[in-house]
Homo-oligomer: A and B are copies of this chain.
Amino acid sequence: MSVITLYDIASGHPGQAWSPNTAKARYALNFKGIPHKTVFLEYLEIEPLCKKIGAKPTSQTSPQYTLPVIYDPSTDTVVSDSIEIAQYLDATYPTTPRLIPEATAALHYAFTDAFEATLPPLLTYALPASLPFLNPASQDYFRQTREALFGGRRLEDVTPTGEEHVAMWEKLKDAFGQIDGWIRKSGGGNKYFMGETICYADISVAGYLRWGRMVLEKEKYEEILTWHGGRWGTLMKEMEKYEIIY
């Protein structure tokens, strides 16, 4: 039987995935129990592959091709972007658990923008830490594109140290505090965004926490898990069973 192909970004560690965005698609596939296999690409292979199989760019300015992308042979469909992949899987495999429950897609899209606005402090730590994790073939591209986000500063100089670290770490805690607030204020001691069941919003947060686990210093990652009453530790514990790389 031919199964869905999930295109992921390669690392220097064979079979180890690190990208937060492709992690969301893998969580989605595993959460739904949909058979799939992973193909790892170096950064410079992404655009040619996308053009070849007809994957849409995820940004029109350039245009920019990014992963995750899936190819589903059973419908001969290519889908880019993790939230669109979640929508596609919900629609195409309606007997599997939904990630974007009925009528909540627009709210999930709004969530995605609000969530992305919380990411800069995490990027400050996780982007520099990702560089040595990549294959040499991808390091130049990664350095060039990511240093541009920091006004051209060398990634090695971006990681905050000393007082700058203390202030940035506080900002990171506030960023997770903002997400915690959304869930906490929803009431009833909710564990996840929509209560007791994982949805696409939880998977998004987990994808980024997982990135932290792969690239940050162990004690930094483990501190995050304890914040906000251990909410993030609970989430990552729950997500463990959806991490298998096929």
Interface residues of A (CB under 8 A from B): 84, 87, 101, 103-111, 113-115, 117, 178-179, 181-183, 185-187, 190, 193-195, 201
Contacts and interface: CB of A to CB of B under 8 A. Distances in A.
A187 B107 CA distance: 12
Q: Which of A87, A107, A114 has the most CB of B within 10 A?
A: A107
A105 B181 contact: no
Chain A facing B: main interface SS: helix
Contact of A107 (B84, B107, B181): B107
A187 B105 contact: yes
Contact of A103 (B106, B115, B179, B195): B195
B193 A106 contact: yes
Contacts of A113: 114, 117, 178, 182
Contacts of A115: 110
Interface centre among A106, A109, A193 (most CB of B within 10 A): A106
